[in-house]
Amino acid sequence: MIPYGRHEVVADDVASVTKALESDFLTTGPRVDEFEEALGSVVGGAGTVAVSSGTAALHTAYAAAGVGPGDDVVTSPLTFVATASAAIFCGGTVTFADVDDDTLTLDPDAVAAAVTPQTRVVAAIDYAGQPADLEQLLEVARRAEALLVEDASHALGATYRGQPVGSIADLTTFSFHPVKTVTTAEGGAVSSNDPHLLDRCRAFRSHGIVRDEARLVDKDEGPWHQEVHSLGLNYRMPDVLAALGTSQLRRLGAYVDRRRVLVARYRALLADVEDVRCLVERPDREAAWHLFPVRVPGVRRRATFEHLRAQGVGVQVHYLPVHWHPYFREMGYQRGSCPVAEAAYGELISLPLYPTLSEADQDRVVTILAEALRP
Ligand SMILES: *Cc1c(COP(=O)(O)O)cnc(C)c1O
């Protein structure tokens, strides 16, 4: 089976992890700082906070943004469920706004129509690895006095108008799950231009515990003393996994380049295949292409998907609109509320895309897809 995504672990990664395992720190040691620094040098901004997953990163970002009871988060339904569920865990509500038909990223006009005085956060998703319309979304968020959170789980290494993803939105989140561009097995991170928001992320990652003497409320408790100033969780990334991440990050540029080459190749190969539509690439941004979703006629999507799977091509569908999941349906969300995203869902198939995908395998995927669609 050719999978839809796959990680790569090389000898350098194994050596880095082994060194971490033999050190004094399995967690919360110098390798987390190293990883945060290396990530910061890629994504820019005032700093990064490594956490235990992309889901933890979203929960941390929303908590740092102050999402709580009475607050609403406006986001896209065409995302992994965590973009929405993390906001609900903060006690907030979620409003789904529709996407742009060309890029399947959040439509700024739909967001503008969806914001209310309760909107605390607009959460964009860089669908498939192409940055959303960040400038317009920032403008809409500013007008609503909300923060822009960017779920860049797909877009590490992408740029928007020459600026790296991670230094544009108020808070940007990343995932390092093995299918993502670089991996720490499980892991995630938040980046921001705002040191105050980063402090709030660090506090949330580790129980809201304060050790800094200057900030203690009860200064005379004793030399052992540390105190809790806010609620948080254990969302720390272990040193062992940070070591893997730092090693993987050295290949980020090569990985993104290879993904871009494969995407250009897919586009060329598919140009002659009738009934296949690719995402539109905006000229002012360089996508990192985590996924390569294509759209086929809705009436033939299922048979096409099944044919590909039967022929050993591990295709996927990203995503069932979040508000169609039974949990959300029972909360009262209605089908039909985001017609562009819902129509796209009915047509989407993600083709295999990962740096070690061979050109021969890619040719095979296209041949099998074309075969499935032949009238
Ligand atoms: C992968 C992903 C997440 C969740 O990341 P985990 O590391 O699996 O928790 C969130 N949002 C999007 C868009 C993702 O692709």
The tens digit of pLDDT for each residue in 254-295 reads 999 999 999 999 999 999 899 999 999 999 999 999 999 999
Among left, alpha and beta (phi > 0; psi -120 to 50; other), residue 166 is left
pTM for this model (two decimals): 0.98
pLDDT in tens, 22-41: 999 999 999 999 999 999 99
> What is the average pLDDT across 84-102?
98
> What is the average pLDDT across 216-244?
96
Pick the atom of ligand 1 nearest to 177's CA: 7
Q: Using the predicted structure, report yes or no on whether residue 327 has a pLDDT greater than 90.
A: yes
Pick the atom of ligand 1 nearest to 175's CA: 7
The rounded percent of the chain whose pLDDT value lies above 70 is 100
**Paired tokens of 19:** 């060194």
pLDDT for 307: 98
**Paired tokens of 346:** 């009915």
- The residues, ordered by sequence, that sit 6+ positions from 371 with a Cβ below 8 Å of its Cβ are 307
pLDDT for 169: 98
From 153, 156, 183, give the residue whose CB has the most ligand 1 atoms within 8 Å, as the site to mutate.
153
pLDDT for 375: 79
Residue position matching structure tokens 């040691």: 29
- Give rounded-to-5 percent helix, strand, coil for the chain: 40, 15, 40
**Mean model confidence pLDDT for the chain:** 97
**Rounded distance, CA 58 to CA 318, Å?**
19
Q: Using the predicted structure, report yes or no on whether residue 130 has a pLDDT greater than 90.
A: yes
Pick the atom of ligand 1 nearest to 127's CA: 13
Residue 319 pLDDT level (bands cut at 50, 70, 90): very high
**Rounded distance, CA 116 to CA 52, Å?**
32
> What is the average pLDDT across 97-121?
98
Ligand 1 is surrounded, with C-beta below 6 A, by: 53-55, 79-80, 82-83, 125, 151, 153-154, 175, 177, 188
**Paired tokens of 18:** 């082994």
Identify the H or E element spanning 200: helix 195-205
Identify the H or E element spanning 312: none
Beta bridge partners of 96: 75
**Paired tokens of 352:** 């295999």
Question: Any idea which residues carry the catalytic annotation?
Answer: 180
Cα-based angle 145, 190, 124 (whole degrees, multiple of 5): 50
pLDDT in tens, 36-66: 999 999 999 999 999 999 999 999 999 999 9
